[in-house]
């Protein structure tokens, strides 16, 4: 059953912030291990995983395709694709990357079959922090983070062109 979050505060992140925060995550991860590869949690983890893969010179990348949201509705966990090679050894030596951990539902499910992987996110909310090994920024639980790949800039007419607002 889905639940609409009604107490949400919008928090917008731009491309520059994502890139800078991705590099901050790399600085926290360098030297922690010799990674076998990266598991990008789709879809949100794809962009941070690309930044991290480039900065850490990791070329072996797989995906965990899992969905728990439909827009701002929280629903059931739907596993679409598992990273078979990483699952075979419980995720040992693998670095799992996502953009954000919210309630931890996605990561809890991922840890069921990848208990030994290192989970890293750019942003983490309090309820999800216990499921993450490394993160850059804590975000309040009631904030909905809008990433640049989920939004687009739009033209806004000058106030002088708005017939009813130009008083």
136: nearest Cα among 99, 103, 111, 107: 99
CA distances from 45 to 6, 26, 62, 69, 160 (A): 25, 14, 11, 14, 41
Q: Catalytic one among 76, 89, 99, 112? A: 99
CA distances from 101 to 36, 61, 89, 115, 148 (A): 23, 20, 24, 16, 17
Q: Which residues have CB under 8 Å from 123's CB, separation 6+?
A: 13, 21, 99, 100, 101, 135, 136, 137, 138, 139, 145
Q: Catalytic one among 21, 84, 89, 98? A: 98
Clarify whether 99 is annotated catalytic. Answer: yes
Q: Catalytic one among 7, 102, 112, 165? A: 102
Q: Which residues have CB under 8 Å from 1's CB, separation 6+?
A: 75
Helix (H, G, I), strand (E, B) or coil at 146: strand
Clarify whether 89 is annotated catalytic. Answer: no
The residues annotated with a catalytic role in the active site are 98-99, 102
């Amino acid at each position: 059953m889905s639940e609409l979050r009604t107490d949400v505060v919008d928090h917008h992140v731009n491309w520059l912030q994502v890139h800078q925060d991705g590099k901050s995550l790399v600085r926290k991860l360098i030297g922690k291990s010799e990674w076998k590869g990266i598991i990008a949690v789709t879809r949100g983890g794809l962009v941070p995983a690309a930044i991290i893969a480039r900065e850490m010179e990791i070329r072996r990348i797989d995906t965990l395709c899992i969905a728990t949201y439909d827009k701002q509705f929280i629903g059931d966990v739907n596993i679409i694709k598992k990273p078979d090679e990483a699952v075979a050894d419980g995720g040992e030596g693998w670095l799992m990357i996502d953009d954000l951990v919210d309630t931890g539902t996605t990561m809890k499910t991922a840890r069921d079959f990848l208990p030994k992987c290192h989970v890293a996110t750019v942003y983490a909310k309090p309820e999800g922090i216990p499921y993450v090994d490394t993160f850059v920024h804590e975000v309040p639980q009631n904030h909905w983070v809008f990433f640049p790949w989920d939004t687009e800039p739009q033209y806004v007419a000058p106030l002088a062109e708005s017939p009813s607002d130009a008083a």
